[in-house]
Amino acid sequence: MAVNLSKNGPALTAAFKEVVDEKSSTNWALFTYEGNSNDIRLAEKGDGGLEELVEELNSGKVMYAFCRVEDPNSGLPKYVLINWTGEGVNDSRKGLCANHVSSMGTFLRGAHVTINARAEEDVEPEVIMQKVGKASGANYSFHKEASSRFQDSGPQGPVGSVYQKTNAMSEIRKTNKDNFWAQAEKDEEKRRQEDRRRADEERQQLDKERKDREAKEAVVRETRDKERSSQIEQQKKYQQKQEADSKEMEKHRYEEQEDKEAVQKKSVRRGVSLEKANEAASLISQRAMNPREMFKQRERGITPAEPDVPAAAPVSPQPEEAPAASSSVQETAFEEPAQVEETSSYEATPEETSDKGVCARALYDYQAADDTEISFDPEDIIAGIEMIDEGWWRGYSPDGHFGMFPANYVELM
């Protein structure tokens, strides 16, 4: 990334102008970065020259110094730019800041000497002044030469020379310094490529983990859905079974209730039938002549005569609670000679009474006391009725038997 000079631009520009202004007492300014960012700030400034400036350099930072010095040859002001990279700065930071040197040189323009320094021996004031003197292009002073031109200096010594012995280690260090920034740039590019490669690997690993996690979640979700569906199906089956059992129980209860109601209705009808039968029996018992005896005499061809003493009337059946007693009472009340019963015991066919089409529906059940009577149940149809008496009629029962029955036990159709 490029160096940022705009954030603290006014302060940087003001410090630079103070250094280049010959009337100002400030003759050096030191610039550095804000933390690990690329923003340049003013670190320090002063008027103590190179000696004071060197004391402010930090071995753990990358700094840029701009200093005004006096040319030892011409006495004119000269400007020195020092690109300081401390030995404690990590390599990645060195490579990044190497790209900012040209931008800082453009901002701190007008420097006569530029020094790339890494150690204290590189910024010794004497060494820097020597470089300034060499860069001035003249190693003499006009005023000094004019004052000594006419003076006798005595015997002349050997002529001096500017030749300096070549120091191999110094040349190697200088070459290493020149190649340092190029190597730093290469290292920085390799580091960036490694960072990109590592970021790609991490992204691919994250994508793989995400896909694996989604696949596992899908399997778990599908298993959970199947379990839920199975539970719902079992619950439906259980509810259907409960409903079927409930309907079956309700049906049983309904049937039992209907049976109870039928029994109750039958008991009520039987009770009413017994009341009617008792009423009919009481009415018949008050008659002076027994209708059964009259029927028998008519069948023998004898004209019935009114006896002086009224014969006992047939007794209607008693309540169902004592059927045996009722039968015994009827048998006692209607004891007949054996020969008469044999002659009166016969069955008539429907053809014999085809001209008598009177029919009635049974209101109550009635059980015959002997062969001269017929038995029937409620709702049975009695056909071929002969109304021979006010209280007793004759007719055909549903089973085809012909005999007498109480008239108040039926209703005409």
Cα–chain center distance at 380: 72
| In the predicted structure, residue 313 carries a pLDDT above the cut 70 | no
Among the listed ranges 128-132, 191-195, 313-317, which one has the minimum average pLDDT value?
A: 313-317
Q: What does the pLDDT average to over 271-288?
A: 66
Among residues of the chain, what percentage have pLDDT more than 70? 70
Among the listed ranges 67-76, 148-157, 327-336, which one has the minimum average pLDDT value?
A: 327-336
Predicted confidence (pLDDT) per residue in 91-105, tens digit: 888 888 888 888 888
β-strand pairing of 28-33 with 360-362: unpaired
| In the predicted structure, residue 343 carries a pLDDT above the cut 70 | no
More confident call, 3 vs 310: 3
| In the predicted structure, residue 405 carries a pLDDT above the cut 70 | yes
Q: Give the 3-state secondary structure of residue 370.
A: coil
Most confident stretch, 162-176, 305-319, 323-337: 162-176
pLDDT of res. 72: 85
Predicted confidence (pLDDT) per residue in 225-266, tens digit: 999 999 999 999 999 999 999 999 999 999 999 988 888 887
Among the listed ranges 194-198, 282-286, 405-409, which one has the minimum average pLDDT value?
A: 282-286
Rounded Cα distance, 362 and 377, in Å: 7
pLDDT of res. 331: 38
Predicted confidence (pLDDT) per residue in 35-73, tens digit: 888 899 999 999 888 889 888 888 888 999 999 998 888
H or E segment to which residue 403 belongs:
strand 402-406
Mean of per-residue pLDDT scores for the chain: 77
| Confidence category of residue 3, pLDDT binned at 50, 70, 90 | confident
Q: What does the pLDDT average to over 387-406?
A: 89
Number of other residues whose CB lies within 10 A of the CB of residue 291: 21
Q: What does the pLDDT average to over 103-119?
A: 89
Among the listed ranges 69-73, 165-169, 250-254, 373-377, which one has the minimum average pLDDT value?
A: 165-169
Long-range contacts of 131-137 (CB under 8 A, 24+ apart): 132/69, 132/71, 132/72, 132/78, 132/80, 133/71, 133/72, 133/73, 135/78, 136/71, 136/73, 136/74, 136/76, 136/78
74, 136 in Cβ contact below 8 A?
Answer: yes
pTM more than 0.75: no
Q: What is the residue whose two structure tokens read 């800082």?
A: 104
| In the predicted structure, residue 212 carries a pLDDT above the cut 90 | yes
More confident call, 231 vs 136: 231
Among the listed ranges 181-195, 283-297, 358-372, 379-393, which one has the minimum average pLDDT value?
A: 283-297
Q: What does the pLDDT average to over 268-276?
A: 73
| In the predicted structure, residue 328 carries a pLDDT above the cut 70 | no
In the numeric block, which tokens belong to residue 228? 């839920």
Among residues of the chain, what percentage have pLDDT more than 90? 34
User: Whole-angstrom distance between the N-terminal and C-terminal Cα of the chain?
Assistant: 122
296, 348 in Cβ contact below 8 A?
Answer: no
